[in-house]
Amino acid sequence: MQTDIIIISILTSTFLAYRWITKKRLNLPPGPPPEPFIGNVRQLASVERHEMEFEAWGKTYGDIVHAKLFGRSMIVLNSFKAARELMDKRGGNYSSRPPMVLLVDLMGWDCVIPQMPYGERFRKHRRLIQNYFSEQSILAYRPLQRKECATLLSGILKKPDDYALAIKRFSAATIMKIAYGHNVESVDDMYVRLAEDAVTDSTATGGIGSILVDFFPALKYMPTWMPGAGWKRHAYRTREKVQKSLNLPFEMVKGTMANGTAEPSFATTLLTERERTRRKLCTMKMTSRAPLVSSATDTTGGVLLAFFLAMVMFPDVFKKAQEEVDSVVGPDRLPDFDDRPSMPYLDRVLNEVYRWSAPVPLGVPHASIADDEYRGYDIPGGSVVVSNIWAMTRDPELYENPDEFKPERFEDPDAFNPRDLVFGFGRRVCPGKHFGDASLWLCAANMIAAFDMGLKRDENGKEIPVPGKFVPGLTRHPDHFECSITPRSEKSIALINEATTLFA
């Protein structure tokens, strides 16, 4: 057994050495010096916030940076100009995904659209999602958004200290209703838990092998009984949770359709189409919605939490937004979608929230399909391509004084709209961006109309400052913070209760 490990190590080292010696000399973009064989892996492993490290690289090497991950090139794009040119204008070559052996082959995420390589299969399934989330299609979801927004307000009214749980439930409830026709009553909902557990375990590292297998795919054949194979045992345990999170909600819908209690949803549409055409629908079509449950709570929920934090940290902004909302809706009703054009300052506030707290700071990595050239630099096919959205939202060429929270920057009609970058690029742009943005606006407007938000006070009446820290990770959301959320008046309480009853 020890001999086998030694032989594998020698063969791997020999292969890497051969690649290192015989590779074509390319004019790669500048970047941090790599170490032999491992490249820049050690540098990246030593930092917690990769978006900040990449931003620092950009200040040293420029807006397009090259790094090495073992034998694979990684291109980091630190400017919107570079991302727009490669991801959007040359999207056909930059819309694939890097090989994800751990997630796809071992954990079973092969049936979900975000992990699919670019091609006809991806395009077919993406069209399916886009049809449900187009600007026109999402108008049909407004009653659902009103209902869940009213439930959010009611939950915060009853338990203001549990505002984060109320936001989490709201985010999961909207997508579960659209996907499966399922009502989510609390964050302890079985199907929400299944999705969260699957995603949490999928992102938890199981040892160095879980990192290496994406670069050395042969490691996926490593027997689970071998020492050092704990990462693979973890992957197989996770696979069971993944399959449950993908299959059980769909089986639930099939059951409700059989007994005549199913509500219209994405899943019922697919099953009805399968019955009509007498064709077996691809499993990927049926399960492609499942990961959206977790991603919705991470992204929409994360931005809404960031909005709450901003309103607490910047009281002058909150007061100005509240004055605008009051001038439009008055004291006798809550805001609705038709009020949005009359609230330009609130839109500027939300623009600044997007910029200040980009929900996915590094996007999701793309992969180049073929060799390319940009600004005289060679970009090898198969490179991992990362859009550093964090750096773009803090680019002084786009935003003056980027470290300030300043909604007024968007009074200029030529100001760069952060919505053009925070939802991703090219043919992988978030298909639910219009729905998520509409949900965010409705909740923000209603919270401002119904509640006063500010710093909490201790037993001596002294304000408790909030640290304003964010949890590092693939998605960005504030660390838990204490705040004061109180209804503005008895009339506000009555309006919340009326809305909850009306949309129940």
pLDDT of the residue at 285 = 44
Percent of the chain clearing pLDDT 70 (strictly above): 89
What is the token pair recorded at 84? Answer: 């727009």
Q: How far is residue 367's CA from residue 86's CA, in Å, rounded to a whole number?
A: 11
The answer to whether residue 306 scores a pLDDT higher than 60 is yes
Task: Count the domains in the chain.
Answer: 1
Query: Are the C-beta atoms of 145 and 175 separated by less than 8 Å?
Result: no
Phi, psi of 478 (to 5 degrees): -65, 145
What is the residue whose two structure tokens read 């999961």? 172
Burial class (CB in 10 A: 0-12, 13-18, 19+), 16: middle
Residue 416 lies in a domain: yes
Question: Which residues, at least 6 apart from 260, have a Cβ–Cβ distance to it below 8 Å?
Answer: none
Domain range holding 196? 21-502
DSSP string of 204-248, one letter each residue? S--SHHHHHTTTSGGGGGS-TTSTT-HHHHHHHHHHHHHHHHHHH
Q: Which of 19-23, 243-247, 482-486 ranks highest by mean pLDDT?
A: 482-486
Residue 10 lies in a domain: no
In the chain, the amino acid numbered 416 is F
Residue 483 lies in a domain: yes
Q: How confident is the model at residue 6 (pLDDT cuts 50, 70, 90)?
A: very low
Q: How far is residue 485's CA from residue 468's CA, in Å, rounded to a whole number?
A: 17
Residue 8 lies in a domain: no
Residue 4 lies in a domain: no
* Helix extents (H) in 39-162: 41-45, 50-61, 80-83, 120-133, 142-158
Q: How far is residue 208's CA from residue 192's CA, in Å, rounded to a whole number?
A: 30
- For 133-187, what is each residue's pLDDT tens digit? 889 999 999 999 999 999 999 999 999 999 999 999 999 999 999 989 999 998 8
Tell me, what CATH number does 477's domain have?
A: 1.10.630.10
Residue 126 lies in a domain: yes
Query: Are the C-beta atoms of 275 and 193 separated by less than 8 Å?
Result: no
Helix (H, G, I), strand (E, B) or coil at 485: strand
pLDDT of the residue at 224 = 87
The answer to whether residue 241 scores a pLDDT higher than 60 is yes
**What value does the mean pLDDT take over residues 99-125?**
82
What is the token pair recorded at 431? Answer: 């298909």
- On whether 430 is known to bind a ligand per the annotation, the reply is yes
Helix (H, G, I), strand (E, B) or coil at 3: helix
Q: How confident is the model at residue 502 (pLDDT cuts 50, 70, 90)?
A: confident
The answer to whether residue 351 scores a pLDDT higher than 80 is yes
Residue 13 lies in a domain: no
The answer to whether residue 3 scores a pLDDT higher than 50 is no
Q: How confident is the model at residue 284 (pLDDT cuts 50, 70, 90)?
A: very low
pTM above threshold 0.85: yes
- For 18-67, what is each residue's pLDDT tens digit? 455 445 588 999 999 999 989 998 888 888 889 999 999 999 999 999 99
What is the residue whose two structure tokens read 């729905």? 435
What is the rounded average pLDDT for all residues in the chain?
Answer: 88
Residue 142 lies in a domain: yes
Percent of the chain clearing pLDDT 90 (strictly above): 59
